[in-house]
A and B are shown apart, each in its own frame.
Chain A
C-alpha cells in the first residue's frame, strides 16, 4: 500500500512540471500583455513595469527564475494587484472556496445519497423514477440558471435569505452551497443508485435477508459500504472540480473565492496568478484523485487484495 502511494506521488512530479511548462509558455504566447490598457501606455513606463516584473529578461531566464522561486514555495507577485503576491491571493481565496466546496459536497452527499438509495431500494417504481427525474434535471440545469432561480425565490420573493455575499450576513452561505451542490447531488444520486442496485443483488445480501435481518439494517450495515464505492471514486475529482469550477457560483453570489481570481487572472493576463492557481489546483486535483483511490481501495476488498498481491 505504501509503495503504491509513493509511486503515485512520484508519478505526479513530471505531470506538474509539464503543467507548469505548458502554462508558462501558453500564457505568454496569448496576444496582449498584463500592462496593455484602454489608454495608451508610454514606452518608458511600460519598460519600467516590465523590469519590475522581470519581463525584460529572455524567456528561458524568466522560466528558470520562476522555477527557482517555485521551488522555494514563492508564486511571485501579482501583476494585476500590485502589493499582493500570488501566495497571499491564493491563501485569501482558498479557505472561502474550500468552505463553499465542502458545504456543496455535503449538500450533494446528503441529497444525492438519499435519493440514490431510495431509488435503488424499489427500482422501476415511483420511488425510483421521481428522484431520478430530479437528478436528470439537476445534471442538465446549469448553475448559472439554478443560482438566479433560487435567489429569485428565496431571496427576492420570500425574502428568507441574502442574495449575495459570504459570511457578511447570517444565512448567506446557504444559497451558494445549494446551487453548487445540486449538480453534484444529481451525479451522486445516479452513481449511488447504480452502486446500490449492484450490491443489493449480491449473494451476501440475500444471506442477510435469509437470516431475517430488518431491511434498514441490511441497507445501512451491509449494502451501504459496497454500494457507495462508485460515489467515493467520484468524490476526489468532484472536490477538486468544486474548487476549480466554483467560478460561476462565486460570480453569481459575489463570493471572494479562488475561482473568481482564477478566471479574472486569465482575462487580466496576470501571468504569475494564472500560473500560481493552475499549478496549485493541478496539484490539488492529483492529490485528491490519489486520496480517492486510497479510500476506494480501503472500501473495496477486491481491490485491496489486488494491491496486496503486487507487493
Chain B
C-alpha cells in the first residue's frame, strides 16, 4: 500500500511541476512588449532620500526618480540641461547662475522653483541631517562652516533664489567640476511640503519616500517598493521632457548574489545585470553576439602602505614592492583580461588627463632598491602582513602578489583577511602594514582622486603628508587659468605622490555586465552612469511573434 501512496505522491508532485511551467513567458519578453526594463541593481537600497543615502544602487534609482539642475549625456558625459534650461558662469568663475526650466514640475504638479533648491541644499548641508555626502557642496561659500556647526544661519550659505526661476550659487574658488556635481543625488532638490508633512526637515526616519508619499521631479515616479523584492517606477506624466522618455517603466531587483543574478539573466528574468561572475565570463566571451559588455570604469584598485611602520617607512622598500608587481600578468591571468594595469592613482583619460607613469615592472631595479634598503635578496626581512577584506577575488589577487614578491625579492609576506567593518576599523586606526583599497570617482576630475592624499585627509590613512602637495591641490590648482594649466598642476602633484609611493596602484576597474540585445540607448561610460530617459527596448526577432 505505501508504494501506491508513493506513486500517487510522485504523480501529484510532477503535475505540480508541469503546471508551474505553463506560466511560460519570461519577464524579458513581456518587458519588451510593454516597455518595462527589468534590471539587477546589486543590493536593496538603504532608502530613497537623496540627502541620506550613499551608494551606487541608490543612485541608479534616484536618477530615475529625480533630476538634477544639469545632467550628463550618457554617450559623451558632457553636460546638458536638466531642471536648469541654461546656466552661466561669471568671469572669475565664482558665481553660477542657473535658469530653471519653467516647465519643470514635481510629480504632484507643483512647479520646481529656485526656492526648492535653496531649501534642499540647506537641508543637505544641515549638520543635524548627518548627510555623509554633505561635502559635495563644500565648494559653496560657507558650506563647510555650516555643516561643521561653525556657522548657525543657513541664509549665509552661498545659494540664493533671485526669483522663482533663477538660482545663484557663489563658490569659494573656481571649481571646474562643480557643474558635474549637479548630476549627483546629494545636490538634488526635494519637495519641501512632502517632507514637512511627514516630519522635521532633518529627520532621517520619516516615511516621505514611501511609494504612496513620495513626490519627485524626474522622468519616472515610484509606483511600488517591496522590501528586498523589487522597486518599480512608472513613466512620469508631469516631467518636462516626458515626450523624450521611451520606457514605460523600470523594475529594479536587489541582486546581491551575482551567481543567482546571472541565472536570472539566463532564464530571461532580467534585461541587464549589475555584475557578472568572473568564472562565467570566458563562456560569455566565446559566444557569438555576446550579451557581455565590458567598459573602463572610473576607479582604481590599489594597496595602501602604512608609511609610519617599518619596513614600509623606507621609500625604497615601497618602490621595490611596487616594481615587483607584474600588473600585466596579474590583469591577464587572475582578472582574465577584464581590467587595465594601473601605475598611478588617477585612471587614465579622465576628461583628457593622463596620469604620470614613473615606473614599470622591473625586477632588477626592485632587487637593487631592496638591497639598498638593507635587505639584499630578502636577507633580514622582518616580515610583512598584507590585509584585505574577505572576498574571493581580493584573496586571489593577494595570493598572486604574495607569490610575485616571493619570486622577485625573496621576501615572505603573510596574508590576513578581515570582515568588512572590522577591516574599515583597522584602516581608520592605521592598524595595518599593507591593505587593499578601491576608490571609485564621484565625478570625472583628477581632483576626486588626488585630494584623498592631503595631509591628514580622512581617506588618506597612509601617513603620506607633504605641504607642497597640499598647496598644489588646495591652492594652486583652483587658481589655474586654463584646463591645461590645471591638469599640469595635477600632473605635478601626482608625480610627487608616486615618487613617494604611499600606495601601490594595481588596476583600473571596469564594469562588466550582461545586457539583453533588446536594450537600446544604454551606452557604457566611464562613470557607469545611466540616463534612463535615453533607453528603449526593441526585441530583434519580433518577427517570430508574428509582426
Contact = CB atoms under 8 A, between A and B. Distances in A.
Interface of A: 30-33, 36-42, 44-46, 48-49, 51-52, 77, 80-85, 89, 92-93, 110, 114, 117-118, 121, 148, 151, 154-156, 159-171, 174, 215-216, 219, 251-254, 256-257, 260-261, 267-269
Contact of B135 (A38, A42, A269): A42
Contacts of A121: 2
Contacts of A164: 260, 263-264, 267, 269
Contact of B21 (A52, A171, A251, A267): A171
Contacts of B358: none
B46 A81 contact: yes
Given A45-B130, A89-B227, A110-B9, A254 B425 contact: no
Given A48-B128, A166-B229, A254-B260, 9 more contacts: A37-B424, A45-B132, A82-B204, A114-B5, A160-B20, A161-B20, A164-B269, A216-B1, A252-B260
B232 to A, nearest CB: 11
A48 B257 contact: no
Interface stretch (B47-55, B87-95, B162-170, B514-522): B47-55
B420 interface: yes
Given A42-B147, A93-B228, A48 B129 contact: yes
Given A42-B135, A114-B9, A256-B226, A52 B260 contact: no
Given A31-B426, A163-B269, A166-B229, A44 B127 contact: yes
B260 A48 contact: no
Nearest to A83: B47
- The 3 A-B residue pairs with the shortest CB-CB distance, nearest first, are A40-B458, A171-B20, A32-B421
B132 A171 contact: no
B421 A41 contact: no
A198 B490 CA distance: 82
B17 A162 contact: no
Contacts of A254: 253-257, 260-261, 264
B421 A31 contact: yes
Given A82-B204, A93-B228, A48 B130 contact: yes
A167 B148 CA distance: 47
B23 interface: yes
A168 B23 CA distance: 11
Contact of A163 (B23, B132, B263, B419): B263
Contacts of A167: 229
A78 B6 CA distance: 48
Contacts of B23: 169-171
Given A52-B204, A164-B269, A159 B21 contact: yes
B523 to A, nearest CB: 27
Contacts of A219: 2
Contact of A42 (B134, B257, B259): B134
B457 interface: yes
B228 A114 contact: no
B20 A36 contact: no
B134 A82 contact: no
A176 B92 CA distance: 63
A148 B259 contact: yes
8 contacts: A37-B54, A39-B54, A45-B131, A156-B263, A156-B266, A256-B226, A256-B228, A267-B421
A251 B207 contact: no
Nearest to B458: A40
In which size bucket is the chain B interface? 35 or more
Contacts of B253: 254
Interface of B: 1-3, 5-6, 9, 16-23, 27, 44, 46-47, 49, 52-54, 127-132, 134-135, 147-149, 204-210, 226-230, 253-257, 259-261, 263-264, 266-267, 269, 419-426, 428, 438, 457-459
A31 B426 CA distance: 8
A268 B43 CA distance: 13
A41 B458 contact: yes
Contacts of A118: 2-3, 6
Contacts of B226: 256
Contacts of A268: 421
Contact of A261 (B20, B148, B228, B264): B228
Nearest to A166: B229
B466 to A, nearest CB: 19
B147 A77 contact: no
A163 B269 CA distance: 9
B267 A114 contact: no
Nearest to B199: A83
A253 B266 CA distance: 14
B419 A267 contact: yes
A48 B421 contact: no
B264 A163 contact: yes
Contacts of A44: 127, 147-149
Given A45-B131, A254-B260, A38 B424 contact: yes
A258 B500 CA distance: 49
Contacts of A155: 263, 267
Contacts of A165: 229, 264, 269
Contacts of B425: 31-33, 36
A160 B422 CA distance: 43
Given A37-B54, A169-B269, A77 B205 contact: yes
A48 B424 contact: no
A268 B128 CA distance: 22
Given A52-B204, A82-B46, A171-B20, A42 B5 contact: no
Contacts of B27: 169
A52 B269 CA distance: 40
Given A32-B421, A41-B458, A267-B420, A252 B257 contact: yes
B179 to A, nearest CB: 22
Contacts of A156: 263, 266-267
Contacts of B135: 42
Contacts of A159: 21, 267
Contacts of A260: 228
A169 B264 CA distance: 12
A81 B228 CA distance: 11
A257 B228 CA distance: 8
A169 B25 CA distance: 10
Contacts of A92: 227-228
A53 B387 CA distance: 31
Contact of A154 (B9, B17, B129, B254): B17
A215 B419 CA distance: 58
Nearest to B267: A163
Contact of A168 (B19, B229, B422, B458): B229
Nearest to B126: A48
A83 B421 contact: no
B209 A83 contact: yes
A31 B2 CA distance: 57
B421 A36 contact: yes
A260 B255 CA distance: 12
